[in-house]
Homo-oligomer: A and B are copies of this chain.
């Protein structure tokens, strides 16, 4: 699936700021096809441009439509985002189920996908839902389910990106080059001598457990060679006085 070909459709949006913020987060996730149906304040919209930040191109290339039917004409699979349960015989999924749902239902390369978002105040109308295949709901706090429009777009874009990520997504952890065990042992030997010298253990019988705990915590840190040099320097300086 190509993220750039997924369409985000804002149906009768009210605030230009939300259109701009939606474009910005689409660009954050590599989506490029923005469609706008009957925006309240007309088009172009200065507030949308301002809020789009680095996604000015998406605003410039956004397509304007008079009706939902025209806006979705070339698409094949439509998701309607709505928080509210409707009395409607239609498949409904949670947002976190979207990747699995896409894999099952949108297999072909030529399947064009769209996600519809309703106006800020009222959400999608039943007439809009009737055009859609699947209802998509974000699992929000029932006490306060009203998501900001651009936030809803952000969550959908993020969940869509899971599909593309799939196998990829290796941790960005810097593969810490752990020091050799010999280097670690060298530090331990030095530390033990230093602690013996200041009678750190107080009671001799306690040393075995205390010493094991100390070594454990340093082992857990997966020290690299440079860090071991720093720690050795630290113990040396503290002991020299």
Q: Give the B-binding residues of A (Cβ under 8 A).
A: 21, 24-25, 27-30, 53-55, 85, 87-97, 135, 137-141, 143-148, 150-151, 154-155, 158, 161-162, 165, 169, 171-174, 176, 194-195, 198-200, 210, 213-214, 217-218, 220-224, 226-227, 230-231, 233-235, 237-241
Specify the chain B residue showing the minimal Cβ separation from A152.
B154
- A141's partner among B27, B145, B198, B233 (CB-CB below 8 A) is B27
The CA-CA distance from A213 to B233 in the complex, in Å, is: 13
Given the contacts A29-B141, A139-B165, A214-B234, A92 and B148 also touching, CB distance less than 8 Å: no
Chain B residues closer than 8 Å to A161, beta-carbon distance = 139
Q: Indicate if the CB atoms of A96 and B146 lie closer than 8 Å.
A: no
Residues of B within 8 A of A85 (CB): 172, 174
User: What is the minimal beta-carbon distance from A37 to any residue of chain B, in angstroms?
Assistant: 23
Which residue of chain B has its CB nearest to the CB of A224?
B89
Name the 8 nearest CB pairs between A and B, nearest first: A221-B221, A238-B238, A30-B141, A198-B237, A151-B154, A92-B172, A92-B173, A28-B140
Closest B residue, CB atoms, query A170: B94
Most buried by B among A29, A154, A198, A241: A154
**Chain B residues closer than 8 Å to A210, beta-carbon distance:** 230
CB-CB under 8 A from A151, the residues of chain B are 21, 24-25, 28, 150-151, 154
Contact B146 A54 (CB under 8 A): yes
Q: How many copies of this chain does one complex carry?
A: 2
Query: Known: A94-B169, A230-B213. Contact between A198 and B238, CB under 8 A?
Result: yes
Q: Are A28 and B172 in contact (CB under 8 A)?
A: no
Task: Tell whether, in the assembled complex, residue B222 and residue A220 are in contact, meaning their CB atoms are under 8 Å apart.
Answer: yes
Q: List 7 A-B contacts (CB under 8 A).
A: A28-B140, A29-B140, A85-B174, A89-B176, A93-B171, A94-B171, A217-B223
CB distance from A142 to the nearest CB of B (A): 9
Give me 20 other A-B pairs in contact (C-beta within 8 A), A25-B148, A139-B169 excluded: A21-B151, A27-B144, A28-B151, A54-B146, A85-B172, A88-B174, A89-B224, A89-B227, A96-B169, A97-B169, A150-B151, A154-B154, A155-B155, A155-B158, A200-B234, A213-B230, A217-B230, A220-B221, A220-B222, A221-B221
